[in-house]
Amino acid sequence: MARAEEQGEIGGGNVQVRESLADRRLDSTLVSPAPRRIVSLCPSTTETLVAIGARPLLVGATRFCTRPRGALRGLARVGGTKDPDVSRILALGPDLVFANEEENRREDVARLEAEGVRVQSSLPRRVGDVPGDVRAVGAALGGECAAAAERLALRIEAAIADLSARPARRPFRYVYWIWRDPWMTVSDDTYVADLLRLAGGVNVYGAAADRYPATTPEEAASRGAEVHFFPDEPYPFTPRRHGDELARLFPGSLERRFVPGDDWCWHGARTLEGLARARELRAERRG
């Protein structure tokens, strides 16, 4: 994948992760009238907008906004998540721009707001945050989009309740790798870790002070990690390119899983797929 430097819902690599907006809330307000032209700067938000019927309102999105497949043909592209073309966004005349506090940079949001553009942002740190975020997107758009957002939020809540109804019988200790050179993983203060918790996962870096701590394969092994997850974003881990190397770095009885990063770190409409993945993982491990 050519987009390793800036892909995914977690952030693209060590520089971008550390410069993310994870701990700095962006101000957003919801005002009338309902917007007629919107731009999305976050791939999972774009997918959610389409899911609640807002595709006719969408006039621009980043080049990493690729889902739903086939639904975004002809849509103006406004750069990447970390380097949006603000001038192009302004030229599209949006009433509202959707951003993500982790994917997008404060300076880009500030420039849009300085030009009088409303920006609404989100940052779910728990799976349980997602229904409220979906409802907020719907409320910003109003009308049938708000009704569709409510239906989607209820489906997500029902799926969370179903998976949370009983604890996993066989918890497993894990590391979810998001980068290499340096090796980086996630703490429990992340959406990914909370989703894996519902699958029965116990994060060996759960209590880390940094949301995305840098570490080493050797340290991870010393912490007793049984399962090592290698998503295809933000770093594009693949069996073909990295299988042999990872077998050497993570030898023995350790379980190495290559997983689709978007199912585990995208939120909003994709949370339903993430919860399905968590349910499958729990079943596979007889949890």
On whether residue 167 sits in a domain, the answer given is no
123 and 255 assigned to the same domain = no
Count of all residues that appear for the chain in the document:
287
> Tell me: the pLDDT tens digits for 207-228?
999 999 999 999 999 999 999 9
Predicted confidence (pLDDT) at residue 18 exceeds the cutoff of 60: no
138 and 190 assigned to the same domain = no
| % of the chain residues with pLDDT over 90 | 82
Predicted confidence (pLDDT) at residue 8 exceeds the cutoff of 70: no
Section 253-267 average pLDDT: 93
pLDDT grade, residue 108 (50/70/90)?
very high
Last residue of a domain, one of 162, 186, 206: 162
pLDDT grade, residue 10 (50/70/90)?
low
Q: Which domain holds residue 32?
A: 4-162
Section 124-129 average pLDDT: 97
Predicted confidence at residue 1, as pLDDT, reads 34
161 Cβ contact list (under 8 Å, min separation 6): none
- By the 8 A CB rule, do 231 and 259 touch? yes
> Tell me: the pLDDT tens digits for 43-91?
999 999 999 999 999 999 999 999 999 999 999 999 999 999 999 999 9
> Tell me: the pLDDT tens digits for 27-54?
444 455 789 999 999 999 999 999 999 9
β-strand pairing of 227-231 with 172-176:
parallel
58 and 119 assigned to the same domain = yes
pLDDT grade, residue 17 (50/70/90)?
very low
191 and 239 assigned to the same domain = yes
CATH of residue 233: 3.40.50.1980
15-24, 98-107, 171-180, 187-196: which has the minimum mean pLDDT?
A: 15-24
250 and 154 assigned to the same domain = no
Q: Which of 244, 279, 281 is nearest to 259 (CA)?
A: 281
Last residue of a domain, one of 138, 162, 186: 162
Predicted confidence at residue 250, as pLDDT, reads 86
105 and 238 assigned to the same domain = no
Mean pLDDT score across all residues of the chain: 89
pLDDT grade, residue 287 (50/70/90)?
low
> Tell me: the pLDDT tens digits for 135-168?
999 999 999 999 999 999 999 999 999 999 988 8
On whether residue 240 sits in a domain, the answer given is yes
117 and 217 assigned to the same domain = no
pLDDT grade, residue 11 (50/70/90)?
low
- Structural tokens at position 207: 């209590």
Q: Which of 273, 9, 277 is nearest to 155 (CA)?
A: 273
More confident residue, 186 or 284: 186
- Please tell me the distance from the alpha carbon of residue 220 to that of residue 177, in angstroms, as a whole number: 10
222 and 147 assigned to the same domain = no
Last residue of a domain, one of 114, 129, 162: 162
Number of Cβ within a 10 Å radius of residue 107:
9
224 Cβ contact list (under 8 Å, min separation 6): 173, 204
211 and 88 assigned to the same domain = no
39 and 143 assigned to the same domain = yes
On whether residue 158 sits in a domain, the answer given is yes
Predicted confidence at residue 12, as pLDDT, reads 46
Predicted confidence at residue 168, as pLDDT, reads 84
